[in-house]
Structure 1
Amino acid sequence: MSDAVLFDTRDDGIAIITLNRPEKRNCLTKDVREGLYAAWERFETDPTLRVAVLTGSGDKAFCAGGDLGEMVQTAMRVPPRDLIPVPYDNVELTKPTIAAINGVAFAGGWLIAQSCDLAVASTTATFAVTEVKVGRSSPWAAPLIHMIPQRIMMEILLTGTPITAQRAYEIGLVNRISEPATLLDTALELAREILAGAPLSVRAARETVMLATEMGRSAALQAARHASEHCYNSDDAQEGPRAFAERRAPEWSAR
């Protein structure tokens, strides 16, 4: 890994991915983008890792967005499809991710926070889709309609006005709020709650949520049943009830 993006692992199966350009407010420069691509691939391909936490260095910015200087230099028009690594979009991931937002999450910073499955925000974090302020567009914001109400989404995109962490929590954009000093601990606590579940059940649950956002009711039910068959037929599906009956902690094998 380059020093633009740090990759740390915990013995309990958690990866911590840190954008490490605080002097540039962790904006999505070329080295940060390349580092993120490498980090997500490492996370996905390591069978010992089950949950990733994405955060930023410093206390001012999670990620301030794209590198505007690069856009000027390259006279960028429509961004290349693979410009920014986006989990579950142009980056294939099958495991849960948590954004730990420690400061500004603007434009592309909002994008990568939005793309994670869950989000924890510092009380000092702020969020904005600022593209209207610089003459750009934000097609990547389309999935927000499954996260927040339409009129609130409309206001955020049309005005580019930042919202606070508290407001982000109120509208359902983030799951939990924490004081800055305990932000990472809060994200890790949430990750460990996920880790307590059976791995195949967690995977099936995540697929169910994503299917439900992309399909109509009947189609989503049918697809979710199919996605859950591997879980139902696993050894863990027998171990869970057995452990409960025997009043002990289950021992998951992910088989």
Structure 2
Amino acid sequence: MSDPVRFDARPDGIAIITLNQPETRNCLSREIRQGLFDAWDRFERDDTLRIAILTGSGDKAFCAGGDLKEMVETGMKVPPRELFPLPYDTVELSKPTIAAVNGVAFAGGWMIAQACDLCVASTRAKFAVTEVKVGRSSPWAAPLIHMIPQRIMMEILLTGKPITAERAYEIGLVNRLAEPDKVLDAAIALAQEVLEGAPLSVRAARETVMLSTEMGRSAALQAARHASEHCYNSYDAQEGPRAFAEKRKPIWSGK
């Protein structure tokens, strides 16, 4: 049997994590949830890996959401917070992530795509927060207010209707669009652009964005300055200007 979640560690520092149950539209079954927890942990612990891409197998679904059959069987009410493997929430990560949305991303599928730092989507992808259609709720969607305008978020949550990839790009949910057979390639290209930066600079940049999202202006400035000190004091902070002066590519050490 195929693994519910595939893990591919590339030599260029990119990890590709693939939800691999296309027959159930890669819904968040127990097997996929456990596979994701394991994959994120493996990614975080491997110092040779600097960025991860999360995608789905098949050409129809990135992830169709939670396993509704399981909810019926267990009589699930409020889902335990630790039930779903969410980057930077229930999963501790210090490195950037990209969602490569190859098909529908509904409910929990939207949730895990939203949790990633960046998003590349197929032009055929669709996104929806469908909880109102099945009597459930979507508290995980709260951070959307920092990504898209309030009234657009309100419509998405209140109607449960899907939006196209083009609309998701328009409102700022998606960074880049790609043809259906080029989604992973586009995500890898974006990852490689991130990898061109110094590792400590990328980490400080990510922390700056998150601090700015979660704090007021003055507090975020102070916290971001503190988060950047390690980067400024690193070897790479000298290597970058030196390489520029010598007209060569920098050789990053991550130190």
**TM-score, normalization: structure 2?**
0.99
Q: Output the CA distance in 1 between the equivalents of 2:47 and 2:223.
A: 25
Matched, 1:46 2:46: yes
CA offset at residue 9 of structure 1? Answer: 1.3
Task: Name the counterpart of 1:30.
Answer: 30
Within 5 A, what are the aligned runs for 1:46-195? Answer: 46-195=46-195
Aligned mates of 1:38, 1:9 — CA distance in 2? 14
Cα deviation per residue 1:54-113 (whole Å; 9 max; x = unaligned)? 000000000000000000000000000111100000100000000000001000000000
1:7-37: CA deviation from partner (whole Å, max 9, x where unpaired): 0011100000000000000000000000000
Structure 2 CA distance, aligned partners of 1:183 and 1:158?
29
| CA distance in 2 between partners of 1:190 and 1:254 (Å) | 20
User: Which amino acid in 1 is paired with 2:116?
Assistant: C
Displacement of 1:253 in angstroms is: 0.4
CA distance in 2, matches of 1:16, 1:254: 21
Q: Give the superposed CA RMSD.
A: 0.5
The offset of 1:140, in angstroms, is 0.2
User: Partner amino acid for 1:41?
Assistant: D
Return the alpha-carbon distance in structure 2 between the equivalents of residues 177 and 254 of structure 1.
31
Please tell me whether residue 202 in structure 1 is matched to residue 229 in structure 2: no
State the one-letter code of the partner of 1:148.
Answer: I
Alignment partners' CA distance in 1, 2:110 and 2:181: 21
Q: TM-score, normalised by structure 1?
A: 0.99
Asked if 1:244 corresponds to 2:244, the answer is yes
SS of 2:100's equivalent in the other structure is: strand
Segments ≥4 residues shifted beyond 6 Å: none
Write the letter of the residue equivalent to 1:228: S
Distance 2:212 2:7 in 1: 32
| Stretches of structure 2 lacking an aligned partner (at least 5 in a row) | none
Match of 1:214 in 2: 214
